[in-house]
Amino acid sequence: MPVGSPAFRVLAVLALLAPIGSLAASEDFNAAAVGSYQEPGFNSNRQFADGEQVDSIDPFSGALKIVTRDLFIPGNGGLDIEVLRNYQSVTNSRGPYSNGHIERTPFGTGWDLHFGRLWVSDTYNRLAQSDNNRGCQIGQVASNLNPILELPDGSRHVLANGDGSDHAFVSKARWIGRCLPTKQNKGDGGLLVFSPDGRKYVFDLLGTVSPDKQLRSYFVTRIEDADGNALDFSYNISKSNKLARHHLLKRITATDGRVVDFSYHDENGPRAVLTGVSANGVSIGYGYADANWNVGAKPHYLTSVNYPDGTRWAYAYNNANSLVGTVPGRFSMTGMTSPLGLRVGYAYGFQQMGVDPAEKLNVVQRRTLSGILGTQPRDLVWEYQYVKGFAPGNDQTFERGPLQCVTYEHVGTNTIANGASGVDQGLWKVGSLVRKTMAGRAGAGCGPTLREETYTWDRQEISPQKEMRRYNLLVENRTRAPVLVQRAITQDGATYVTRYTHDAYGQPLTVAEQGQGSRTTQFRYTRPGGRWMLGKVSHQSISGIPGEIANSYTGSGRLAQKSMFGVVTRYAYSAGGDLTSETDANGHVTTYADHFRGIPRLTRQADGGLVRRTVNPTGTLASLTDPLGRVSSYTYDAMNRVTRIQLPKSSHTRYDINYAFGPTGVMQTAVRAGYTLARQYNSLGQLIVQIEAGGASTIETAAIYRADGQKISLSLPGYGGLNPHAQYYEYDGLGRLTRVRHADGSAATTAHGAGNVQTQRDENGNATTSHYLAYGDPDQRERVRIEQPGGVVTHVGRDPLGRVTVLEQGGLRRTYAYDSRGFLVSEYNPETLTTQYGYDAVGNRISRKVGAAATDHFIYDAMNRLVSSSYGGVQTFTRSYDPGGRLVRQTSYQGTVWDFAYNAHDQIIRETLTEPGASRALTMGYGYNSRDQLHTITYPSGLEVFYNPDVYGRPTQVGAFAHGVSFHANGALRSLTYANGRTLSIGQDPRRLRPTDRRVGGLPQFNVPMALRYGYDAAGNLTQLVDEVDGRHSQSVRYDGLNRLVSANGAWGEASYGYNGRGDLTFQQTGGARIDYSYDGQGRLAALNGSLNVGFTYNNRGNVTQGRSRYTYNGASQMLLYCASPQWDCPSPSETYRYDPRGYRSATAFADGTQVLSLYGQEGRLLREDFPADGGFVEHIYLADERIASRMQCEFVDDDGNGVSNCKEKRYPVNGRQGTVF
């Protein structure tokens, strides 16, 4: 929907609207506002490029539009300085100038750079100061001579007369203008303009952008937010040069001290051009070339923008005097090269949009991205075709891109009636998108439509002034803005509809969505402090969900309180609008102070911890000091990219980062203590090659992308170069993944079916079908039904927020209930019946009651960290933290205690387990190198195991137990040599990276002790284990469609297994022995029958208490007692257990009074076992998640005189031989 100027030409129908003379006077003025197909900037009722793409082709007008940010400096209160350049291709053949100018501007043909302008007409070339909002209004029935607001992105908004009370003017985008108060007048009159977010723009300085419109623009002199933060703009306008050919922005000064300067060549002459923008000690330079054109003041082009790091934008144009008459694209941009080397080319054509020659416009017909590394193809081409629509048809634009064909339909100027019968025929909706279709490419053409979107618009009256367009052929008796009332998406045979209602300001009141499910969201709004601020939601509710989201605001529009369904968070601000405190629903307060560039330099956490920051003038973080006093510092290049990260541990623990820009992208290299990570990005900013270096061989991977940025292939890691094998990805015409193909040719597929149903087939062809629920958009969905092989069906019930309410599978049903705050307050599981939960005010779970079991309680600190867990009210576990938030102690009600110490990089360097009564304390120590890689583990006995990692962090030895350790490129263990001289080698499938064999050898005088070979099915399940030493121990296995084991063949003969619809094991049969599994109505295993007959009972928490034996648990479901006999009376348990605070078993006491004490480390590995009865212990040594050695220490007590100590005989019978490594 256009927001640009009124029309140009006066026809007879205008007698209905205004005197002929006043309309004729607007002719020249409207050249700045341009027409329906020539409006600059970005219209909210159309679709443009997504993401960080700087260029867009307007699908309605065919114009090239570019917005580039050259400089950004954040500010206090969020009032940032953003220097934007905007470009629009020349729209017609009147001359070499764009944006309605017929004379040169200081920025180059088609380009502009400013922070807001207010255009006025010759007739009303001064906006009168006034102390009421009627005194500056335009006194004519139509808005064609009203002021036009131009924004930094180039978009233009006609300011129609407002209500005369709250505001003098209003635009369709809800910008308003208020008369400049008399006391603020500096001589030129002007206007106060307010954005929808409440910022005030002061336009009180008349100036000249181009000599053809002398003194026809009010320049913005101040931008101020509601908290009083402001940017002041200085221009080279004085009494002596009031009639200069150009008036130029010279400086921006912020109230918080930021300054940006603008410099020019020939500032006071006829050929003024912007040459530099500088701030914080860096400058951006602008280069130009003269056009080959000899009419009037010689025009020029912006050819380069040079950044302080040496990168640049480069631009090329149709620059030839011979490009005249009907040659399309005259004086428009033909090419652009980005700082990353992306080359974009543009080709143009003519499109006649109406009967007048001036409506014959330049339109982009082709957009080409050239020579991109890491994409297929390397040249990406989009082609555009435009068809003018005549009533009742719409304008159509056909876009044929590398992957998709997209059709746009907009309401055109000839879609609606015009001329004498054209009054109130829908001028307000011209330019609005009404239909969009998408199809995949099919060879050189397009495939069938895969998605269709339709948009329905209604109108809102914003002004009683009349609106005219298209040379006054299109007339509306009021100024009306379009509002979207319905969007419908049809995809995969289903239609998804979203309907909207609006308030008088165009804000949505209801959003009703209908797809596989339906829901309605309702909104209410407020205007904080009575200010002109839109979008401030005060209440939001969703059908089917109890409660609401409620917000309140400060007088300046900052969020003061947010209630998320009753969970309240409060915020406080400084006088400048910076956040000073945040109070959660528990009353815990985090404060922020000493803001600079909008960043708090001091944060006091809710637990009292202090975080200090130093901030550069650019708004980048220079250093951060955490509550423990550790300092991390950062340095940057001239474009604010990080070049060094100094970590707190030492001067050696830092990253040095370099950027090398070339014609096809950039290589980013990070170096730390001999390790180098090099990442090559192509000209689109996509990571295409990664190289890790510093070791004996580099490790390299590479990716190839499609035009939409999704990966086509990802190579497997390779040593010393790129691996020839890769994984490949395929997509449908909507960009949805359809196939993942492995390097061995096997593939998993995904089919997208009707009604939001998706079927995935694994590499074996087994299908899983998922049904999804969506509301107004099929891509925003939740899974509600899963159909798996073997008839396994799962139903998932969800509420309108997507939360799970029901799970059903195989006849069992689980339910979940939420309170008005959205917290899960109860769940029903058949095994344990109903579990109830309680919460504190912020949502930390403070209680849990499982069925009839006693209630568990939980306590949290001010940082919402768990500090106490009490099961049944008597069994308590505690956790303590240091000011840095690191866990430093855990205790158990059983008396065990873990204590932790850390290095400056939060890695555990010492952990000590203390047994009850301080009877025993065992400490594990960990050492790290300057790359934070594990270097050493020290066991409680003092044994030091050195891993000596390579630069990639992979061990090269394991103390004295293994050396010569090597790895495959993907990090999997490849080989090592044990202390006894034996070697371990593990082969790898180069196409799937699975282990292919495992062999132990290395001592030719002995037989090979192990040689195993593995086979797999296409889905990666292990199907064959071949023992090459003794074939009797070979095994083969088979799986069903859910990858569950159904048969196994080996030395035992043949075994088979069966399952029910829930995946429970129903039988196993090995040879003639069969065991059947039966389940009760709660889904619990009730009995084993057949070769083994056992019944089971359970406690309130669902733990087995009786079967072949009897078991007793604590409130945390940790087994405490084991009785070999199943009777309830068990005065002498076979085994009793104690656990460390992390939940690992730390002690086992046997019926004969002996004990085994266990120590598990931070990664859950068993590191040590102690045998107090005979003084022995065993320490276990690991590599790559495998235990490769056990070291036994024993007191030498030899009761039977065989030369082997008692503890060795008891723990590891060795037939009389001694040894200390196992």
pLDDT tens digit sequence for 782-823? 999 999 999 999 999 999 999 999 999 999 999 999 999 999
- Tokens in use for 1142? 């992390």
Domain end: 459, 492, 525, which one? 492
- Tokens in use for 171? 């635009």
Torsion of CA 869, 872, 876, 881, to 10 degrees: 10
pLDDT higher than 80, residue 7: no
Q: pLDDT tens across 368-390, in order?
A: 999 899 999 999 999 999 999 98
pLDDT band at 15 (very low <50, low <70, confident <90, very high): very low
Q: Does residue 1022 fall inside a structural domain?
A: no
Taking the C-alpha atoms of residue 351 and residue 349, their distance in angstroms, rounded to an integer, is 7
Mean pLDDT, residues 1062-1083 taken together:
95
Run of H or E including 28 = helix 27-33
Q: pLDDT tens across 1119-1171, in order?
A: 999 999 887 788 889 999 999 999 999 999 999 999 999 999 999 999 999 98
pLDDT higher than 90, residue 238: no
pLDDT higher than 70, residue 1076: yes
Tell me, what's the pLDDT at 28?
Answer: 36
Tell me, what's the pLDDT at 295?
Answer: 62
Taking the C-alpha atoms of residue 805 and residue 622, their distance in angstroms, rounded to an integer, is 48
Q: How many CA atoms does the CB half-sphere of 1202 hold within 13 Å? A: 13
Taking the C-alpha atoms of residue 305 and residue 338, their distance in angstroms, rounded to an integer, is 10
Run of H or E including 669 = strand 665-672
For residues 958 and 937, is the Cβ–Cβ distance under 8 A?
no
For residues 1016 and 1025, is the Cβ–Cβ distance under 8 A?
no
Q: Does residue 820 fall inside a structural domain?
A: yes
Tell me, what's the pLDDT at 418?
Answer: 74
pLDDT higher than 50, residue 20: no
Q: Does residue 1043 fall inside a structural domain?
A: no
Tell me, what's the pLDDT at 625?
Answer: 98
* Coil/strand/helix, residue 847: strand
Q: pTM here?
A: 0.92
pLDDT band at 94 (very low <50, low <70, confident <90, very high): low
Phi/psi region, residue 872 (left: phi>0; alpha: psi -120 to 50; beta: rest), is left
* Range of weakest confidence among 394-403, 466-475, 813-822: 466-475
Q: pLDDT tens across 697-747, in order?
A: 999 999 999 999 999 999 999 999 999 999 999 999 999 999 999 999 999
Tell me, what's the pLDDT at 354?
Answer: 65
pLDDT band at 918 (very low <50, low <70, confident <90, very high): confident
Mean pLDDT, residues 869-879 taken together:
95
Average pLDDT over the chain, rounded to whole?
91
CA distances from 1216 to 285, 1201, 1209, 1220 (A): 86, 10, 8, 13
Tell me, what's the pLDDT at 34?
Answer: 41
- Tokens in use for 1075? 């065991």
Q: Which alpha helices (H) appear in 1004-1066, and where do they start and end?
A: none
For residues 923 and 942, is the Cβ–Cβ distance under 8 A?
no
**Cα 422 from chain centroid?**
48
Q: How many CA atoms does the CB half-sphere of 37 hold within 13 Å? A: 29
Tell me, what's the pLDDT at 1194?
Answer: 81
Q: Does residue 724 fall inside a structural domain?
A: no
Domain end: 463, 492, 521, which one? 492
pLDDT band at 353 (very low <50, low <70, confident <90, very high): confident
For residues 222 and 160, is the Cβ–Cβ distance under 8 A?
no
Q: Does residue 611 fall inside a structural domain?
A: no
Q: What is the domain count for the chain?
A: 2
- Which of these, 581, 543, 583, lies nearest to 563 by C-alpha position? 583
Domain end: 846, 875, 904, which one? 875
Q: Dihedrals φ, ψ of 271, to 5°?
A: -125, 45
* Range of weakest confidence among 291-295, 444-448, 548-552, 763-767: 291-295
pLDDT band at 1209 (very low <50, low <70, confident <90, very high): confident
Q: Does residue 841 fall inside a structural domain?
A: yes
Q: pLDDT tens across 58-82, in order?
A: 999 999 999 999 999 999 999 999 9
pLDDT higher than 80, residue 1189: yes
Q: Does residue 622 fall inside a structural domain?
A: no
Q: Does residue 115 fall inside a structural domain?
A: yes
pLDDT higher than 80, residue 12: no
Tell me the percentage of the chain whose pLDDT exceeds 70: 92
The residue segments making up the domain with residue 324 are 12-492
* Coil/strand/helix, residue 564: strand
pLDDT band at 104 (very low <50, low <70, confident <90, very high): confident
Q: pLDDT tens across 511-536, in order?
A: 999 999 999 999 999 999 999 999 99
Phi/psi region, residue 810 (left: phi>0; alpha: psi -120 to 50; beta: rest), is left
The residue with greater pLDDT, 624 or 98, is: 624
Tell me, what's the pLDDT at 1125?
Answer: 86
Sheet holding 64-73, edge to edge: 55-57, 64-73, 81-88, 111-112
**Residue 37, Cβ neighbours under 10 Å: how many?**
28
Tell me, what's the pLDDT at 48?
Answer: 44
**Residue 22, Cβ neighbours under 10 Å: how many?**
21
